[in-house]
A and B are shown apart, each in its own frame.
Chain A
């Protein structure tokens, strides 16, 4: 029932992208996410898509796995697209609606070409955002990702931010997810064997049917947390006191090459954005 939940969906492979430094990957992904918001035409979206597909190809992660990440936001995608189609007015007063329908007086549903365009762009933007960030999680193990976050947040130590503890909380949360999924599965089976019925009845009945799952799950969560705390205490664990890392992260040539390419690409995107409306061909790109 909960088997489909993917989280920390690392796809093991050896590729250029996999062997990059997690910190660099994280920063470049952030640049990608910010950069997407400066794209405003279909043509440039096309460039970004081609760019992203190249990265996916280089990472040797099957495209199917990347596309699977969109499944989670499909409702959001459709909803935003539909809302944009119906609620975006024309680009200017001169634009007449493509289609209009007035079921009663004073209320009209209108669809403009502009609305279709906006919906399409937002759709593309969301899809690219999710795909781009899933390239990061597919090629980086959760452990590396946590290390990267810890390393990147280090400057915050100056203002007494508990960076190490923060990273620890993150990695513990991630590591608990698979075992909680297993446990949920087991509890569901156990309660089903006692005749519990999760599939019939009204909303209230179904919601109530989850109590026998949620309570053991919560109790189990606390139990595990306590056991873990005891295990850490008995090993004299003490936060950030001069701990060393088993795997030291080092920057390599791959990181330099990748950074150069991604930064150059988005520099282009930013320049296009800054100069929109100035030259004819750029205007064309932005039509």
Chain B
């Protein structure tokens, strides 16, 4: 029988140190098919696809492309076989133009000929219904444009097998629709498309078949038309889970925090935050939605005193804290917790142990010049116990812990300081479902205790189910604040792209 499958991966195993990321995984993808690779964070989806794109090399197992056994030792080998991967974190060179990025690494004449290239790009764009300005620099592009560029880049290389790693994570609902149209277009042209995701509704909408991975193993491959969401979840997580999030019904309390006309100018002289004003109350979770880079980071950091603002005021308990450093804010007796987006790059010191991370914000209260470890050690022990942090001991560097446990150290430290306001930026990013729900529970618990919470999120479904109100940021401006109980995804998507209701 002739092997018609575009990709066949058999018994693929790959380990990193003692962690087995892929354990004898099998996967078959046909031409003219959109195949979803479904699994939790850490299930091994990206690892598997990175082996197909030549980034990783499998420890054992075989790969066949259109029936031919292949062995990739570099991305170049993979490109030659018609495989193109669009990575979750775009692999583009910022200071170069779209055209430069497209032609990168391609063989051809000695000199670069831009005119020819622009023509070829236009042809590809027409055929697949894409749109790009070849002379635009990547750093001037929006997230959606960058993704389009990545797609054109792989098509230019003649890819017939496309792998997309979490392509919808950073897009608005409208952009997702457009992406899906492009994907169906490719499928009709006979391409094989693999989409990595953990969003079930998207899987149901776009894919023909689904392969589910769990903890590095392939669980099953099913036809999408036969699949049902609850069984998919069960296969993903390994047990029955109720994925319904609970919105804690609380009475909204007094106003805790109020921003008034806050404007932040970034290093490119653009307004990262433009006249932002809103208030946060006790016992509420205020969600913040927006396309990545719409000012979320600046919003958090301005409130936390890490970012200088051009103008505006931030009231916390009657005092204007704008322009105050984190140190001064702490000295004012303001209890504010902040879970930054980059946990190991900002919230914690990766190379230090739990104790030294726990004392990070309070060591300055110690008297004298000597750093005392004991009070921190007691507190660390308490936090480890209370939040059920899995660690060999308190002297383990936090970088050695799993993502979920790292997040719990950070969240534990911030919650343990008994904050009145808690700012959390993408607190479940990279965590598996179990750990994510544990975090949601912790946030709800804080809300019950009267804490006002700002929750920067990316998954609109989660925002709608968990939050009381949702604030939408577009290019640093607030394009709307909606009641989460009544709003729809489409409304928020509309606001994210700059529309107003």
Interaction A to B: no
